[in-house]
Structure 1
């Protein structure tokens, strides 16, 4: 992952991580993918977005999930 593709600036999108040079948040990309949109759908909807940037957003989220933070989820794993 090109770490330079994901940036955070308090003056853009309230400091949320975005694709460099855009206002497209990592959160938006993940939301759309989770809702079933394909990478091709995202590329068609956002002409400034690249496949590399989408993959960088996914890799960024994976890196965050690898942290030692606990995320409580209601219910139990049976």
Structure 2
């Protein structure tokens, strides 16, 4: 899946946070709702313009961000 077709960052929308294209629904919001126990079907009911592929793209985006995260270790002195 290519999340770039569905997840965008634009400094004019939600201060540049990643959102579902054409909406103001942030990846953060979708992840938060899922972590609180909402299902994909719940999200589709709450946000009628949202598609299942949008939610999956948000999950894929988040996993890519974490997979490419760099950890910098500082020496404890």
* TM-score strictly above 0.5: yes
Q: Which of 1 and 2 has greater Rg?
A: 2
Consecutive unaligned residues of structure 2, counting only runs of 5 or more, are 73-77
How many Å apart are 1:20 and its aligned residue? Answer: 0.4
- After TM superposition, the score normalised by the length of structure 2 is 0.87
Consecutive unaligned residues of structure 1, counting only runs of 5 or more, are 72-78
- After TM superposition, the score normalised by the length of structure 1 is 0.86
Moved over 6 A (4+): none
Once the two structures are superposed, residues 36-55 of structure 1 have per-residue CA deviations (whole angstroms, 9 ceiling, x without a partner) of 00000000000110000000
Aligned-CA RMSD value: 1.3
Number of equivalences: 71
